[in-house]
Structure 1
Amino acid sequence: MASIAKFTGTKNKDGKYTVTLIEGDGIGIEISKSVKDIYAAAEVPIKWEPVDVTPQLVNGKTTLPQEAVDSVFKNKVALKGPLATPIGKGHVSMNLTLRRTFNLFANVRPCKSIVGYKTPYDNVDTVLIRENTEGEYSGIEHTIVPGVVQSIKLITKPASERVIKYAFEYARHVNKPKILVVHKASIMKLSDGLFVNTAKEVAKDYPDVSLDFELIDNTCLKLTTDPTQYSDVVMVMPNLYGDIMSDLSSGLIGGLGLTPSGNMGNNVSIFEAVHGSAPDIAGMNLANPTALLLSSVMMLRHMSLDFYADKIEKAILQTIASGPENRTKDLRGQAGTDEFTKKIIANLE
């Protein structure tokens, strides 16, 4: 993979890699078990190191338990189930805390139509890379006078350069010939303008990848009219646009329950299911583990374990395509989490 955010972990003496596992809340326990069972059956050379990330407030700041932080830094890679942020206790979003703690600067969200699960859109194959550390999510807000609040959107050249370079490297790696910078520099001439100009500079180092620009509102319109226009493109954009557009892209293929996600940093990377923890169905054998499984497939590719990634991905897609009797209820099926997992294991070749 790219020299930026490259996996630098090493095998243990037994020939296996250790991966930090954040099982998460609610259905996280069940879908993590599904991943563990499938990995055991596929004989993936991975040992899981489960950690607890229940947040702690230290000097008024949301922080992660040191043991969990040490584990991720040691193993260089983690797989994460859905986390619920405690409400009304002064905690910052857990996902935001993870990004800040490990400086996960790029979120990668590929969305590909799943055969056998029909949506109004066919042949979707999009990739979106979102700057993950600044923009409107910098948290710089204050009240000027009662009833007037100012929120500052922070865009810096180093952060823009880093995520745009990663997008170019990623495009090369997945053989997509174009980078599309999605922005609103027509209005935010300085902030988005900096992002756009940085992309023009970075592009000089990648003459084999073409560069284009599009206004965010236009991209939304075109993407929901005909997403196949974006099949040969890697989109890259500032934080807030990426947050919205990545969910929009997920909607085209059937929702967050089918969408993998990776958060990339220079030292560590965390792959995650981006859907909620669904406490209302926790423990009821109804959860769909597909998003976490496909995120784990992304993780395997990041670790250059492509043989196992291909094997597991093929089994997942085959199971979904095989009919409603093998799919979970959210995929218009009749199977429970356990049955779905067993069917994937049976389809491993």
Structure 2
Amino acid sequence: MLRSVIAQKTSLRSLATFASPESVLPKKYGGKYTVTLIPGDGIGKEITDSVKTIFENQRVPIEWDVVEVSGLDDHSNGVTAAVDSLKRNKVGLKGIIYTPTGATGKSLNVALRKELDIYASLVLIKNIPGVKSRLSGIDFALVRENTEGEYSGLEHQSYPGVVESLKIMTRFKSERIAKFAFDFALKNNRQVVTAIHKANIMKLGDGLFRQTVKDIAQDYPGIKVNDLIVDNASMQAVAHPEQFDVLVTPNLYGSILSNIGAALIGGPGLVPGANFGREYAVFEPGCRHVGLDIKGQNTANPTAMILSATMMLRHLGLNEEADKISKATYDVIADGSVRTRDIGGSSSTTEFTDAILAKLN
């Protein structure tokens, strides 16, 4: 499944990701890759426009196949169009799609991942120079199973006022997410993989996940394995996050810990992420916030989307372009004169993007 990675432990400017075999990468036409672009809801268009502007300025060899998918309206065909586009292109860049909280509202984000079996979420949590944080030494990767657990979507009302929700855990999916986590650790000079679970209570489901991770660890003798109960892991993440290296989690626990991790380093606008399957890769901010409350205000921080896009470039083998863009982004943040509201500034999304372009040019 893996082709190559770029080590990330030593540098913020070379955030690592997996690269899939050549057979599942998009083909170049006229020297360019065609990549699916799903802006999503909320601030999605604003921060993906930032990426488009930077790529165009730097003549990055990408052509966008734009697909509009929204959870705000009944766009049932949107996911179908997105799936068809990703099947053609193999690689996508995605904003977050709104998920309604009503009884009948379905998550289109989950539907997309399930339809294409994009089973592994990778989120990178690391202190960024220039962004004040209460704690230092934070540098861990969160590997989250994307397709089962509490997100299996199997629930029903067996009697008025009585709802039964099925949490599905399988050895097959636990094995492949564990292998993904250990492969990531091996390729990126990581030393410890920690399985997050609640096996003290859910002894069968979470017990299966915990034991499967430990079983897979036998194939990676150079990497240590341990485990933590999720509530303790949440406390440890707030108190001593520097102890973590690679965390591997079922679906729901990964969602919780990615939000904790984002808060530790400065907010959801700073955390890059990616999702991988055997055939497809979709890159999106690691902390999945829609940002409906600031939509259209030109105040969103595009850093997470820009860094996710540079992860995508490395996945495509465009390392030089990725390094230049990520370096310019970090340099703007470190300088501190142009920064968005979420990290203590007053600059707009457009001004932040322009500052990156100035660094690049």
Question: TM-score by structure 2 length?
Answer: 0.88
Among 133, 158, 163, the residue aligned to 1:149: 163
Deviates more, 1:187-196 or 1:199-208: 199-208
Q: Distance in 2 between matches of 1:219 and 1:63?
A: 39
How far 1:135 moved relative to its partner? 0.9
Q: Give runs of aligned pairs for residues 1-349 of structure 1, distance below 5 A.
A: 2=2, 6=20, 8-54=24-70, 64-85=78-99, 90-230=104-244, 233-273=245-285, 274-323=287-336, 325-348=337-360
Q: Counterpart amino acid of 2:88?
A: K
Q: Counterpart amino acid of 2:326?
A: E
Q: Distance in 2 between matches of 1:216 and 1:193?
A: 13
Q: Distance in 2 between matches of 1:281 and 1:189?
A: 42
Q: Counterpart amino acid of 2:106?
A: V
Does the 8 A contact of 1:257 with 1:275 survive in 2? no
Deviates more, 1:41-50 or 1:3-12: 3-12
Q: Distance in 2 between matches of 1:65 and 1:221?
A: 37
Q: CA RMSD in A?
A: 2.2
Q: Distance in 1 between matches of 2:293 and 2:229?
A: 39
How far 1:284 moved relative to its partner? 2.7
How far 1:108 moved relative to its partner? 0.9
Q: Distance in 1 between matches of 2:105 and 2:329?
A: 36
- CA separation of 1:33/1:137 partners in 2, compared to 1, >3 Å: closer, same or farther? same
Does the 8 A contact of 2:124 with 2:142 survive in 1? yes
Q: How high is the sequence identity, in percent, across the aligned residues? A: 46
Does the 8 A contact of 1:5 with 1:266 survive in 2? no
- CA separation of 1:280/1:241 partners in 2, compared to 1, >3 Å: closer, same or farther? closer
Q: Distance in 2 between matches of 1:311 and 1:135?
A: 39
Q: Deviations over 1:222-278 (max 9, x none)?
A: 221111111xx2110111111111111111111111111211111111111244333
Does the 8 A contact of 1:125 with 1:228 survive in 2? yes
- Is the partner of 1:33 in helix, strand or coil? helix
Question: TM-score by structure 1 length?
Answer: 0.91
Q: Distance in 2 between matches of 1:64 and 1:100?
A: 15
- CA separation of 1:141/1:100 partners in 2, compared to 1, >3 Å: closer, same or farther? same
Does the 8 A contact of 2:19 with 2:316 survive in 1? no
Deviates more, 1:256-265 or 1:275-284: 275-284
Q: Across the two proteins, how many residue pairs are aligned to each other? A: 343
How far 1:111 moved relative to its partner? 0.7
- CA separation of 1:89/1:36 partners in 2, compared to 1, >3 Å: closer, same or farther? farther
Q: Distance in 2 between matches of 1:275 and 1:200?
A: 29
Does the 8 A contact of 2:41 with 2:70 survive in 1? no
**Any gaps of 5 or more consecutive residues in structure 1?**
none
